[in-house]
Amino acid sequence: MTDPVDPQPAAASLPVRLLVCDDHAVVRAGLLALLDSAPGIEVVGEAGTGEEALALAARLAPDVVLMDLQLGEGMDGVETTRRLTSPSAAVGAAGAAGTAGTAGTAGARAAGGTGGGGRAGSAGSAGSAGDAVGEGGAGEARGAPPHVLVLTTYDTDADITRAIEAGATGYLLKAERPEELFAAIHAAAQGRTALSGPVASRVMANMRRPRPSLTDRERDILAQLATGLGNREIARALFISEATVKTHLRRIYDKLDVDTRAGAVAVAKEQRLLT
């Protein structure tokens, strides 16, 4: 579900500057080829890791970062999103540009080598675009942190919640039609929410679902459980008996409709029961 937006911007308007972040080179190449036909969208660079995305964003000042959630080893998409959208991201961009230089050049070379056709050339010019930012071009004109549009195969409540809480403007599944992706990129560039249909349905269902009512003691035990403590350690920490811990755990499992400790913690995080 994407807010209404004109997918064909006026000729006088600037194209949406897009940075693509996905750890699979084949996926990035496919996206670059697809986006080559997108009206009003200019891919300025590509990244294979969260760290590289942060460096390139500081150097290239994109309007939107198309972000995968799972990025292999290192920083994941959620943490990268959190850092990209933090208020300090724009303030620290100038200072980060020097550090980003090497990564920006590497990202530009990767873009030029893996992209297809004309879009590869556009992405491959990332280095020169970064120089322009450093000289006070796009960086000063745009200033604000980029909007992040998640593009992933994961649609669990936990993944959606974590991404949105981290600051993502939109959340799309990779099964979307190209036209939906293009429209979502333009919507994100304007700060408009863009959600895939199944994702929007899950978000609405979660909002309508009543939150479980836990007692203060049950919340205490759940918080200890989230730290990885066993029953004996929880009993010692809360100055209660191990049998009392087990009784409360059974009640917590019933209220959260789970049957494992890991399940209880996962549901508690999804429904923001842990403070």
- For 196, phi then psi, to 5°, come to -65, 155
The last residue of one of the domains, among 157, 177, 206, is 206
In a domain, 163, yes or no: yes
Q: What is the mean pLDDT of each run of 10 residues along the chain (275 residues)?
A: 48 83 95 94 96 96 95 91 82 43 40 39 38 37 83 86 90 94 96 90 76 88 93 95 95 90 86 75
- For 164, phi then psi, to 5°, come to -65, -40
pLDDT score, position 90? 54
Helices and strands of the chain, counted as H and E runs = 15, 6
pLDDT score, position 226? 92
pLDDT score, position 1? 54
Domain count for the chain, please give it.
2
CATH number of the domain that 193 lies in?
3.40.50.2300
Round to whole Å and give the CA distance between 249 and 263: 12
54-101 pLDDT, tens digit per residue, is 999 999 999 999 999 999 888 999 999 999 998 766 544 444 434 434
pLDDT score, position 29? 96
Q: Which residues pair with 148 in a beta bridge?
A: 65
Same domain, 23 and 123: yes
Round to whole Å and give the CA distance between 54 and 113: 20
Same domain, 141 and 260: no
Same domain, 105 and 225: no
Same domain, 154 and 254: no
pLDDT score, position 251? 94
Same domain, 134 and 243: no
In a domain, 130, yes or no: yes
- For 43, phi then psi, to 5°, come to -80, 120
In a domain, 10, yes or no: no
Q: What is the domain range of residue 127?
A: 16-206
Round to whole Å and give the CA distance between 34 and 32: 5
195-227 pLDDT, tens digit per residue, is 988 898 888 877 776 778 899 999 999 999 999
CATH number of the domain that 231 lies in?
1.10.10.10
In a domain, 227, yes or no: yes
Which of helix, strand or coil describes residue 18?
A: strand
